[in-house]
A = this chain, B = another copy of it.
């Protein structure tokens, strides 16, 4: 998973992935029918271990819904800054690299984005009902927009090697969503 995340799907070979996992290349093909199937399994694991786990802060009832959203993106940002903005988000990277090249990958990406958006949507809806976020934008649309804008901010932060895109994300999104 780490090799695919760091090098990109087309930027590393099965040999390199097997070596990083400390297994012979042949054993990869005992478990996965293709590099594509291995990539999809790595994506699923990334979503389960990194993305879904971090979303737990959105359930923290000790914080207001808007504060949970701020904490959530702040946590993602800290993780990215800690590694010098390297690698970015594996989900965004695979979206850019493989959406046209692997139907299997594209479908799994869509499934993960949908779950991710629903979790954000539920918190955005709470924030709207609490009067913390303007209510004239449907919660699902706002959640989807937040997530997409965040993925774009990551791309830019990697190019600039700077947290400025995350600052812009936070300032603009939270200034304007409050109305």
Contacts and interface: CB of A to CB of B under 8 A. Distances in A.
Interface of A: 6-8, 10-11, 85-88, 92-93, 95-97, 99-101, 106, 109-110, 113, 134, 136-137, 141-142, 144-145, 147-153, 155-156, 158-161, 164-165, 167-169, 171-173, 175-177, 179
Say how many copies of this protein the assembly contains.
2
Given A6-B100, A100-B6, A113-B160, A145 B155 contact: no
Majority-rule SS of A interface residues: helix
A105 B64 CA distance: 42
A86 B96 CA distance: 10
A171 B106 contact: no
A101 B11 contact: yes
